[in-house]
Amino acid sequence: MTTREPRRRRAVRRAAAVIAAGAAITGAAAFPPPAHAFAPPGCGDHSATRGALHRITDVDGLTGAAVRIDDPRCGTWTAASGVADRRTGLPMQANPRVRVGSITKSFTAVTVLQLAAQGRVSLDAPVARYLPGLIDANGYDGRTITVRSLLRHTSGLPDHMDSFKSTDEFRFEHFEPEQLVRRALRLPDPGKGWHYSTTNYVVAGLIVEKVTGHRLEDEVERRIIRPLGLRDTYWPGDETGIRGAHPRGYERVERDGTVRWADRTDMNISVGWAGGALISTPRDVNAFFGALLGGRLLPAGTLAEMEQAVSTGPDGLWPGAAYGLGLIGTPLRCGGTWWGHAGDIDGFTTLAGVAPGGRRVTIAFNENPTTQAAFDDELNLVETGLCDPRGTEKP
């Protein structure tokens, strides 16, 4: 349910010495040919993106990686590297169905913003207007926290995910949203300024339900998933598996100098709910962000508010990142700003964005990056996909 923080800091510290151990199986998938043999002039063959993709598995040692590029002029290009299943050696597919973690936050934010555009929610109203008494413990006060601050992670609420010592504490448990909020309110005050908290989006989801009288899942389905034809995107509820064909999801673990890969595919993701429960594919994620940034889901003025972002700071997401209302903006090395989101949950990592010209890129891994080099290469893959073949990429 996190993006790059605080998993990035914890994982880099604990796993810096083990990355080379994963190289044994990453050559299982050969370099795939371009998806389109005859691209329009100027579209290139995506060789830089292909090289950046294979670096993830061949150098960083992650189990599998996939990338999808949708370009208004050049069409669709996909590629994959590594394996989907370490036991069988099945090659990674280019459009894997995976847990997309915190990308769910963008779906929830759009739902809240649609309600705001309809005049049913005020972004600058206190949470207590909609959910009186929900946030009223340990010095936290819903009368001083606005809906806008929830979506921007400036509410001052802790993250309930920090209340768990390990994945095993929640992996096969069902949680009601109110339980998650109560867990968060028992945690210390994270301080002023920007602080990433999945609890913010649990509260936002509860506001959607209070205002509409419907389940958040049904509102997202009705407002986003069905209209956009996102056929592989769904809320799993208490289902612990992933429907249909999908890769296995792995967490790299080192104990007593031995590296192993724990299979984290199966999980009850009610612990993430409005902030991290969705399952989707690169195709669907690209379609969602393309529709959002293309003005199909929100009025222009509301989308502009979504893009009013604050810096996440030196210990936040990644260099240059700024957080809006469920949307992350980052300077793009070939010019302008790319907007999107990242999702990270044990076993799966997804990162997606849209460049100023409308090119969309989604990458999906079935193992979480655990070193600074792997994180950097993850970001490089997205930026290369958004810039390639403009000639400014650094594969």
CA angle 181, 344, 50 (to 5 degrees): 165
Say what the pLDDT of residue 208 is.
98
Scanning the chain, the segments in alpha helix (DSSP H) are 7-15, 47-58, 103-117, 127-130, 147-152, 177-185, 198-212, 216-220, 226-228, 282-293, 300-306, 372-387
- Contact predicate 265/347, CB 8 Å: yes
Residue keyed to tokens 């920090």:
162
Say what the pLDDT of residue 43 is.
83
Confidence check: pLDDT of 222 > 80: yes
- Contact predicate 44/389, CB 8 Å: yes
pLDDT band, residue 41 (cuts 50/70/90): low
The H or E element that residue 258 is part of is strand 258-263
Q: What is the 8-class DSSP label of residue 107?
A: H
Distance, CA of 266 to CA of 268 (rounded, Å): 7
* Joined tokens for residue 130: 């909609």
pLDDT band, residue 2 (cuts 50/70/90): low
Confidence check: pLDDT of 16 > 70: no
pLDDT tens, residue by residue, 352-369: 999 999 999 999 999 999
Say what the pLDDT of residue 1 is.
63
Distance, CA of 22 to CA of 60 (rounded, Å): 8
Find all residues with CB under 8 Å of 110, minimum gap 6, and list them: 223, 224, 292, 297, 298, 326
Greatest Cα pair distance in the chain: 62
pLDDT tens, residue by residue, 84-123: 999 999 999 999 999 999 999 999 999 999 999 999 999 9
Confidence check: pLDDT of 305 > 50: yes
Q: What is the 8-class DSSP label of residue 223?
A: I
Confidence check: pLDDT of 54 > 80: yes
pLDDT tens, residue by residue, 336-345: 999 999 999 9
Distance, CA of 266 to CA of 305 (rounded, Å): 37
Confidence check: pLDDT of 7 > 90: no
Helix (H, G, I), strand (E, B) or coil at 254: strand
As annotated, the active-site residues are 102
pLDDT tens, residue by residue, 116-173: 999 999 999 999 999 999 999 999 999 999 999 999 999 999 999 999 999 999 999 9
Question: How many Cβ atoms from other residues are within 10 Å of residue 373's Cβ?
Answer: 15
- Contact predicate 281/275, CB 8 Å: no
- Contact predicate 334/386, CB 8 Å: yes
Q: Report CA dihedral (160, 174, 365, 153) to the nearest 10 degrees.
A: -30
Complete domains list, the chain, with CATH: 7-101+232-387 (3.40.710.10), 105-224 (3.40.710.10)
pLDDT band, residue 283 (cuts 50/70/90): very high
Say what the pLDDT of residue 17 is.
31
CA angle 339, 158, 348 (to 5 degrees): 50
Say what the pLDDT of residue 393 is.
36
Say what the pLDDT of residue 44 is.
81
Residue keyed to tokens 């995506």:
46
pLDDT band, residue 307 (cuts 50/70/90): very high
